């Protein structure tokens, strides 16, 4: 059995990792779960794979694929900032995600009370 890793991703909508066509992984894709909790029409969480650190966890990713993708994208800002990382064991990925809860992606929601410049919230009347 091939070695696998658990990838943690704090980007809100996740990310699709894709390798170039023609190489050893020939255009293979892996979709990472993001840090946003997906909810159903009633507002109930659909996925329990979001850790308290705000990272989505994608389990069982081929380690060779991850290593090859990372070698091509080691300068990708979310990787450099620690918003995307992988660990060999799911428990280690969960623990690391909790430790890295303060990592910022730049995609966090803005506080409506602290909007920059002349921006204001829209008052919606029903």
- DSSP per-residue codes, 43-104: S-BS---B-TTS-EEEEEEEHHHHHHHHHHSTT-HHHHHTSEEEESSHHHHHHHHHHTTT--
pLDDT in tens, 78-92: 999 999 999 999 999
Structure tokens at 120: 């204001």
pLDDT in tens, 26-65: 999 999 988 875 555 555 555 555 566 889 889 999 999 9
């Amino acid at each position: 059995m091939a070695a696998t890793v658990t990838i943690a991703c704090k980007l809100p909508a996740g990310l699709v990792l894709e390798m170039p066509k023609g190489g050893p992984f020939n255009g293979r894709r892996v979709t990472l779960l993001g840090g946003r909790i997906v909810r159903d029409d009633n507002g109930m969480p659909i996925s329990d794979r979001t850790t308290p650190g705000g990272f989505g966890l994608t389990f069982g990713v081929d380690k060779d694929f991850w290593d090859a993708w990372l070698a091509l994208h080691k300068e990708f800002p979310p990787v450099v900032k620690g918003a995307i990382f992988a660990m060999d064991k799911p428990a280690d990925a969960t623990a690391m995600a909790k430790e890295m809860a303060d990592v910022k992606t730049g995609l966090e929601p803005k506080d409506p009370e602290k909007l920059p410049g002349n921006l204001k919230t829209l008052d919606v009347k029903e």
